[in-house]
C-alpha cells in the first residue's frame, strides 16, 4: 500500500473529525469497493466515537438490498456501480444510523469485472448531508490495492470539501 496515500487519508480523517466536532455533526458510512478502508481511517482517530456512528460493508447486491434498502429495480436498471446506487446507499445509511451525514462508495477495484462503460478503476462516491445528496465519479489506474486506498482517501477529500462549504 502506498504510504503517502495512507498518510493523506489519516490526515484527512483527523481534519474531518475536527470539522464534525465543531459543527456537531454525526457520520455513517456504506462501503462496497473500499471494503471498510474509509471506516478504518475514520476510526484510527482517537475519540472518533463522538461523531462516527458506524458503517456497513455492503459488498454484495444482497446486502445492498437487504440491509441498505437499495431497491432491486435500481440495481437491475443501473447496476451496482452507478450514481443511483451510490445515492441510495448514502441516504439509506444516514437514515438507518440516524446520522446527519451518510457517505458511500461503489466501484470496480478489479482486476476483473470491468466493461467498456464501467471500467476497472471506476469508483462512485455518494454524500448525503441532511438529505442533500451529491455524487462524484473517479477513475483510477489499477492495481486493486491502490484503487481501494485512493478511493478511500478521495471520499474523505470529497467529504471535507462538502463540510467546508457549509
Going by their DSSP bridges, the two strands 122-129 and 132-139 should be labelled as: antiparallel
> What confidence score (pLDDT) does residue 3 get?
67
**Measured distance CA(124)–CA(119) in Å, rounded:** 12
Whole-angstrom CA distances from 89 to 97, 112, 148, 163 are 12, 23, 18, 19
More confident residue, 165 or 62: 62
3-class state of residue 30 by DSSP? strand
Residue 114: per-residue pLDDT: 86
Whether 2 shows a pLDDT value over 70: the answer reads no
Assigned CATH for 3-165: 3.90.950.20
Mean pLDDT score of the chain: 96
- Mean pLDDT for the stretch of residues 42-55: 98
Cα torsion 155, 130, 166, 45 to 10°: value is -50
Taking only the tens place, the pLDDT of each residue in 82-132 is: 999 999 999 999 999 999 999 999 999 998 898 889 999 999 999 999 999
Q: Given pLDDT bands bounded at 50, 70 and 90, which one contains residue 141?
A: very high
Query: How far is the C-alpha of 157 from the C-alpha of 138, rounded, in Å?
Result: 12
Predicted pLDDT of residue 101:
99
pLDDT recorded at residue 147: 95
Give the pLDDT score at 135: 99
Question: Where do runs of H (alpha helix) occur along 24-133?
Answer: 37-43, 61-66, 72-78, 83-96
| Cβ-based neighbours of 77, under 8 Å, separated by 6 or more | 84
* Total residue count of the chain as it appears in this document: 166
Amino acid at each position: 500500500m502506498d504510504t503517502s496515500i495512507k498518510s493523506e487519508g489519516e490526515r484527512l480523517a483527523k481534519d474531518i473529525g475536527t470539522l464534525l466536532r465543531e459543527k456537531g455533526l454525526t457520520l455513517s458510512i456504506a462501503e462496497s469497493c473500499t471494503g471498510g478502508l474509509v471506516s478504518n481511517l475514520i476510526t484510527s482517530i482517537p475519540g472518533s466515537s463522538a461523531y462516527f456512528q458506524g458503517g456497513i460493508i455492503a459488498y454484495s447486491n444482497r446486502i445492498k438490498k437487504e440491509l441498505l434498502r437499495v431497491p432491486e429495480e435500481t440495481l437491475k436498471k443501473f447496476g451496482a456501480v452507478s450514481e443511483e446506487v451510490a445515492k441510495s446507499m448514502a441516504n439509506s445509511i444516514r437514515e438507518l444510523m440516524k446520522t446527519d451525514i451518510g457517505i458511500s462508495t461503489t466501484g470496480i477495484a478489479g482486476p476483473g469485472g470491468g466493461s467498456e462503460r464501467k471500467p476497472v478503476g471506476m469508483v462512485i462516491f455518494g454524500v448525503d448531508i441532511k438529505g442533500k445528496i451529491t455524487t462524484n465519479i473517479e477513475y483510477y489506474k489499477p492495481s486493486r490495492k491502490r484503487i481501494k486506498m485512493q478511493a478511500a482517501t478521495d471520499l474523505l477529500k470529497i467529504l471535507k470539501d462538502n463540510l467546508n462549504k457549509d
